[in-house]
Amino acid sequence: MEHDAHTEAPTHAVPPSEDATVDDWARDDAEPMSVESGAAPAEVAAADAGADAPHAPSPSAAVAAEGVKEIQSSLQSLELKINVATQEDAHVVEDDVDQTKRHLNVVFIGHVDAGKSTTGGQILFLSGQVDDRTIQKYEKEAKDKSRESWYMAYIMDTNEEERVKGKTVEVGRAHFETEHTRFTILDAPGHKSYVPNMISGASQADIGVLVISARKGEFETGYERGGQTREHVLLAKTLGVAKLVVVINKMDEPTVKWSKERYDEIEAKMVPFLKSSGYNVKKDVQFLPISGLVGTNMKTRMDKSICSWWDGPCLFEVLDRIEVPLRDPKGPVRMPIIDKYKDMGSVVMGKIESGTIREGDSLLVMPNKSHVKVIGLNLDESKVRRAGPAENVRVKLSGIEEEDVMAGFVLSSVANPVGAVSEFIAQLQILELLDNAIFTAGYKAVLHIHSVVEECEIVELIEEIDMKKKKEADPKKKKPKRKLLFVKNGAIVVCRIQVNNLICIEKFSDFPQLGRFTLRTEGKTVAVGKVVDVPPAGSPTF
């Protein structure tokens, strides 16, 4: 469901690092570590607004973090020297990834035609990865297809169908760097038919860039019911995208002309919605105006002659400075497999959600409990010896046939493997049932949880949670013992869910990335939720 953007360009996707001898051993320490808090999904946001973002630093925390950074960077350079000296076969590690920079996956989301691919393409152009000749070629090709203004999007939209229709279908993938960060861009499709692909992109991301078109009428269409702006935000939050950069795009457009009123109008409408989706707007969200097509306020701050009222930062600055909670590199290995292929062995692809994978490691592919050995590890285009949390990697395995691996399986440590279950207890929020359907035991939907896509059935409604009452809950008061038969749109309900095949999931409180999910029917997201309980270890059922 993904493709590498910009394969035709002559330059390498990641600019080569100056020091090609440095390996990846210092990667874990490249930035201060904090434990993933697991931002709460939308359904709990109303109850604990603000409590789900403990990582945005207070001023004093920021000072302390600076100190820690300094110590860590000197430790890191020391470690780098030691590692370079002790590494026996540095030459086999074709290492052009700058290991001293942190790595973040950023998904571009938003309504169809908001300018996600254009902005992504412009980022690659501005960071020097696409040369003028390629741009000229794309300009010509776009013109031939009567899609003149789409040439920047062609950098990300690489297949013919996407270029002809001017719509992203598969999640485009590309890499770029800012001063302190290596980014993997995941360019999601905005069209409602491709929401499952968007879910796959967002589930791999740490942060999101929500692209909104300021053009007259376009913001409105994207924002209204049925538009993808709201759906994408809710999905991103549920899927673990901790921070959002909201870019108000197309500010150059003749109906906008860098109007402050238009910018303010859109921001004012988005803020309450983002809050209700579970984002702490002060800590987790940053707005800024750009023109993705022209490239304004992206790599450098814009000139006052273009926009007199904007004093804030440009996009590269915001992305470079964004603070995200890091996951524990020493935790048990959890890597949901998103894809696989054969290449003198079985190669699996995915994002490491917890732990560190090293060459030579013995691991388990779950739920099959297949014992495998890591015989190679690739990060972007480079071979590495190990990779930590949040890295998108390709892992070559021995001990398993490629046919025996499926998307949704999880690469896991042997000592503390992920559970394989056929039922779980979830707390979910009903968003929008089709045709006023009621939500009862027997309701069937498609479950999307990390890279798993499975038919599921709600087998028992356990309890409806009343957010207002919950706040004044009286622990002495006994709950009525009446059985809950149904709930309606908007309800928050605890229920038991079953699937036919074994799936590898975790409690949200233990591994948020493997414990949050969406339910979809007939191409619409009907509910978002989190796993609150799983059967005891070793048992697929309660």
118 contributes a contact to Mg ion by CB under 5 A: no
x-marked contacts with ligand GTP along 91-110 as a string, rule CB under 6 A: -------------------x
Q: Which of 6, 295, 214, 41 is nearest to 130 (CA)?
A: 6
Query: At a CB cut-off of 8 Å and minimum separation 6, what does 136 contact?
Result: none
Min. distance of Cβ 356 from Mg ion in angstroms? 34
Stretch that binds Mg ion, among 79-87, 88-96, 162-170, 513-521 (CB under 5 A): 162-170
Binds Mg ion (CB under 5 A): choice among 6, 55, 103, 116? 116
**Are the C-beta atoms of 229 and 189 separated by less than 8 Å?**
no
Binds ligand GTP (CB under 6 A): choice among 118, 129, 451, 513? 118
Is the previous residue joined to 367 through a cis bond, with omega within 30 degrees of 0?
A: yes
Binds ligand GTP (CB under 6 A): choice among 99, 100, 117, 413? 117
The number of C-alpha atoms within 13 Å of 109 and in the hemisphere containing its C-beta is 38
134 contributes a contact to Mg ion by CB under 5 A: no
Which among Mg ion, ligand GTP, none contacts residue 142 (Cβ within 5 to 8 A by kind)?
Answer: none
Name the amino acid, one letter, at 75. L
Q: Closer to ligand GTP by CB, 290 or 395: give it.
A: 290
Q: Considering only residues 123-162, where is the footprint of ligand GTP by CB under 6 A?
A: 149-150, 153
Min. distance of Cβ 118 from ligand GTP in angstroms? 3
Q: Closer to ligand GTP by CB, 36 or 252: give it.
A: 252
Min. distance of Cβ 257 from Mg ion in angstroms? 24
Q: Closer to Mg ion by CB, 153 or 458: give it.
A: 153
**Cα–Cα distance between 243 and 319 in angstroms, integer?**
10
Q: Which of 5, 444, 2 is nearest to 198 (CA)?
A: 2
197 contributes a contact to Mg ion by CB under 5 A: no
Min. distance of Cβ 168 from Mg ion in angstroms? 3
CB atoms within 10 A of CB 442: 9
Min. distance of Cβ 452 from ligand GTP in angstroms? 25
Which among Mg ion, ligand GTP, none contacts residue 163 (Cβ within 5 to 8 A by kind)?
Answer: none
**Cα–Cα distance between 212 and 307 in angstroms, integer?**
18
**Are the C-beta atoms of 199 and 448 separated by less than 8 Å?**
yes
Which among Mg ion, ligand GTP, none contacts residue 292 (Cβ within 5 to 8 A by kind)?
Answer: ligand GTP
- Please count the helices (runs of H) and the strands (runs of E) in the chain: 12, 24
Which among Mg ion, ligand GTP, none contacts residue 149 (Cβ within 5 to 8 A by kind)?
Answer: ligand GTP
Which among ligand GTP, Mg ion, none contacts residue 397 (Cβ within 5 to 8 A by kind)?
Answer: none
Apex 183 CA angle, 29 and 32, nearest 5: 25
What residues does 341 pair with on adjacent strands?
347
- The H or E element containing residue 235 is helix 228-238
> What token pair was written down for 400?
């398993």
168 contributes a contact to Mg ion by CB under 5 A: yes
**Cα–Cα distance between 482 and 321 in angstroms, integer?**
52
**Cα–Cα distance between 362 and 382 in angstroms, integer?**
22
x-marked contacts with ligand GTP along 272-311 as a string, rule CB under 6 A: -------------------xxx------------------
117 contributes a contact to Mg ion by CB under 5 A: yes
2 contributes a contact to ligand GTP by CB under 6 A: no
- The H or E element containing residue 136 is helix 132-144
Min. distance of Cβ 449 from ligand GTP in angstroms? 24
Which among Mg ion, ligand GTP, none contacts residue 250 (Cβ within 5 to 8 A by kind)?
Answer: ligand GTP
**Cα–Cα distance between 431 and 393 in angstroms, integer?**
34
**Cα–Cα distance between 351 and 475 in angstroms, integer?**
42
Binds ligand GTP (CB under 6 A): choice among 41, 166, 208, 329? 166
Q: Total number of residues binding ligand GTP (CB under 6 A)?
A: 25
DSSP label of 99: T
**Cα–Cα distance between 440 and 443 in angstroms, integer?**
6
Q: Considering only residues 268-327, where is the footprint of Mg ion by CB under 5 A?
A: none
Size (the chain), residues: 542
Nearest-CB residue for ligand GTP: 190
Longest dimension (CA), the chain: 73
Please report, as ranges, the residues that interact with Mg ion according to CB under 5 A. 116-117, 168
Please report, as ranges, the residues that interact with ligand GTP according to CB under 6 A. 110, 112-118, 149-150, 153, 166-168, 189-191, 211, 249-250, 252-253, 291-293
